């Protein structure tokens, strides 16, 4: 697709124009430069550009673009404007005694679980960041048995929740113990070889900055100063990871540009007559089975299914070659809707996805919720736009987060209420 910098610059120019249109539409909904919505707009601009370049059938291209329009306008119709009302006035809202203790207990126990899980991972697989190919190593490290899969599920669910609660408690209390825990969590995240490992902390800071009581603290102001450096380090880390498989900085930059363009890489495997005919045999029952498979699988109602996007990759190879390390691209709402509900049903599905994401975003900016509800809503909103990119994956992450949160929740409740029961 992109073979040289001239092609890259042309594609970037066209993408910037698309981004400008999207930004104009969404601008009243963006509360910060580090708002996940802004990153989503950027990735969608690249996906739309890829769609225009890749989809040759006018009917499929029209369906693809109409889904984008339905999502955009539905989201903006439902979501409340927060441009001039984005600070949550929580100055008079305090942690209830038991509420504060619960989160301290939960954070500490969750931290121990994450730490022990990753010590075990490093002892078995080594530090992924320092492997010959961190991008491939990130996937390959979690294949196989021996409990490695459980570590992966902890890292993509519980780790981020503990990140959020640790950062929140530290900013509120200024206790150095939680600063040490936070630094440790950062090192764990970076060691996993993820190109976006540091960006999650920037996003967390952006959300926490919406609390008036936090926004005005000296600790937050000090931490906030590192948002931009963190972003820079995150980009540098991305170039380092990509550069591990390239020969020069120029190739790394080119690779990063391609990676952004490939946020819509499912378009290489769908929106052609053969793939559409093959996969549109699936119906509503199949949709429920794929979406709820993480829950059905755990309950042993149905066996675990291969991701549908992985099946698309396999189908695209005429010889049905089974690839060794492939999880498949993300399966965004516009493709999923087209598969399960057809070209008109896809528009309705795009509409509903936009409504759902806008709803949870609105909930976050309601006034005078408890801190516990705020924390949960922040965690949901961090993953909200991931739902648009791959709803089944997001549901899987949420299910895993709930499962691995059960132990710290139960222990925290026991520590809170067991002494009272004795008395």
Q: What is the DSSP string of 217-269?
A: SHHHHHHHTTHHHHHHHHHHHHHHHHHTTSSSHHHHHHHHHHHHHGGGGGGGT
Instruction: Give residue 208's pLDDT.
Output: 81
Q: What is the pLDDT of residues 395-405, one digit of tens each?
A: 888 988 999 99
Contact assessment for residue 64 and residue 343, using Cβ atoms and an 8 Å cutoff: no
pTM for this model (two decimals): 0.82
Residues contacting 64, CB < 8 A, separation 6+:
51, 55, 267, 271, 334
- Tell me how long the chain is: 423
Decide: residue 41, CB within 10 A, 0-12 exposed, 13-18 middle, 19+ buried. buried
Q: Is the pLDDT of residue 369 over 80?
A: no
Most confident of 219-223, 259-263, 346-350: 346-350
Query: Minimum mean pLDDT among 48-52, 139-143, 148-152, 208-212: which range?
Result: 139-143
| pLDDT confidence bin for 58, thresholds 50/70/90 | very high
Question: Please, what is the Cα angle at 91 between 90 and 97, to 5 degrees?
Answer: 80
Most confident of 2-11, 230-239, 242-251, 350-359: 350-359
Report d(CA 208, CA 87) in Å as an integer.
10
């Amino acid at each position: 697709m992109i073979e040289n910098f001239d092609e890259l610059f042309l594609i970037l120019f066209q993408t910037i124009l698309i981004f400008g249109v999207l930004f104009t539409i969404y601008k009243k909904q963006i509360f910060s430069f580090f708002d996940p919505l802004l990153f989503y707009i950027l990735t969608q601009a690249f996906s739309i550009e890829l769609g225009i370049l890749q989809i040759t059938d006018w009917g499929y291209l029209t369906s693809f673009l109409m889904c984008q329009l339905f999502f955009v306008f539905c989201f903006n119709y439902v979501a409340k404007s927060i441009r001039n009302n984005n600070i949550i006035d929580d100055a008079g809202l305090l942690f209830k005694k038991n509420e504060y203790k619960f989160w301290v207990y939960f954070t500490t126990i969750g931290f121990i679980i994450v730490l022990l899980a990753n010590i075990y991972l490093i002892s078995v697989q080594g530090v992924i960041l320092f492997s010959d190919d961190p991008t491939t190593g990130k996937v390959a490290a979690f294949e196989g048995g021996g409990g490695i899969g459980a570590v992966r599920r902890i890292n993509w669910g519980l780790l981020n929740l503990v990140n959020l609660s640790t950062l929140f408690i530290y900013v509120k209390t200024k206790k150095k113990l939680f600063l040490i825990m936070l630094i440790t969590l950062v090192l764990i995240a970076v060691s996993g070889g993820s190109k976006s490992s540091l960006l999650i902390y920037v996003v967390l800071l952006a959300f926490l900055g919406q609390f008036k009581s936090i926004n005005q603290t000296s600790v937050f102001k000090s931490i906030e100063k590192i948002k931009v450096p963190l972003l820079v380090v995150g980009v540098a880390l991305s170039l380092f990871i990509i550069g591990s498989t390239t020969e020069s900085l120029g190739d790394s930059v080119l690779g990063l540009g391609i990676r952004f363009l490939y946020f819509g890489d499912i378009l290489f495997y769908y929106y052609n007559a053969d793939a559409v005919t093959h996969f549109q045999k699936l119906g509503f029952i199949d949709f429920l089975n794929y979406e709820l498979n993480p829950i059905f699988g755990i309950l042993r109602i149905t066996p675990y299914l291969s991701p549908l996007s992985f099946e698309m990759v396999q189908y695209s190879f005429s010889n049905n070659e089974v690839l060794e390390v492939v999880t498949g691209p993300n399966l965004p709402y516009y493709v999923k809707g087209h598969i399960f509900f057809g070209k008109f049903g896809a528009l309705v599905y795009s509409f509903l996805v936009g409504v759902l994401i806008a709803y949870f975003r609105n909930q976050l900016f309601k006034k005078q919720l408890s801190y516990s509800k705020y924390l949960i809503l922040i965690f949901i909103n961090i993953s909200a736009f991931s739902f648009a990119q791959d709803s089944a994956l997001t549901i899987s992450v949420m299910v895993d987060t709930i499962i691995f949160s059960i132990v710290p929740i139960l222990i925290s409740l026991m520590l809170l209420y067991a002494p009272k029961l004795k008395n």
